[in-house]
Amino acid sequence: MRNLDKSLGDGGMPLLAQLGLSFERYGEGWAEAVWTPTESACNPRGPVHGGVYAVVHDAAMNFAANSALESGDRAATLDVSYQVRQGASAGQELAVRGEVVQLSRTVAYVESLVTDAATGGIVSRAMSTFAVRRAERS
């Protein structure tokens, strides 16, 4: 398993911290984060803006995909499809998990889930396809 400890927290992307997302743990093919949406993640009426879910899901699935690869290999998003099942708002405690469901030499299929930390209810779910580039090994 690849060491991604340096990506814990905001994943090296200040935007994620501004949105309130922090990666806490990962393993081979999965990553988990806590997300407490900030005002920056919300639209003027109060709830989290729909497009912010895409950013959060993509980050979680990217972390999960890269955790399944060897050092030097890379994964890049080809598509993301997501659904928002219930609204979330600033300050609400959410849990995020990305997980690889299938990995081949050139493609990874990944899913993620955002849940309400208090109730476990599904807030949003996503699926994605990633292109996998393998490093040349001797």
The three-state DSSP-derived secondary structure of the chain is CCCCHHHCECCCCHHHHHHCEEEEEEECCEEEEEECCCHHHECCCCEECHHHHHHHHHHHHHHHHHHCCCCCCEEEEEEEEEEECCCCECCCCEEEEEEEEEECCCEEEEEEEEEECCCCCEEEEEEEEEEEECCCCC
In a domain, 98, yes or no: yes
Whether the pLDDT of residue 113 is over 90: the answer is yes
Query: Which among 28, 15, 18 has a CA at the least distance from the CA of 73?
Result: 28
In a domain, 121, yes or no: yes
Residue 48's domain spans which residues?
5-133
What's the pLDDT band for 47 if we cut at 50, 70, 90? very high
Span 76-108, pLDDT tens digits? 999 999 999 999 999 999 999 999 999 999 999
Mean pLDDT score, 30-59: 97
Please tell me the total count of domains within the chain: 1
In a domain, 138, yes or no: no
In a domain, 76, yes or no: yes
We report the CATH number of the domain holding residue 32 as: 3.10.129.10
Whether the pLDDT of residue 1 is over 80: the answer is no
In a domain, 105, yes or no: yes
Which pTM does this prediction carry?
0.95
In a domain, 125, yes or no: yes
Whether the pLDDT of residue 138 is over 80: the answer is no
Mean pLDDT of the chain: 96
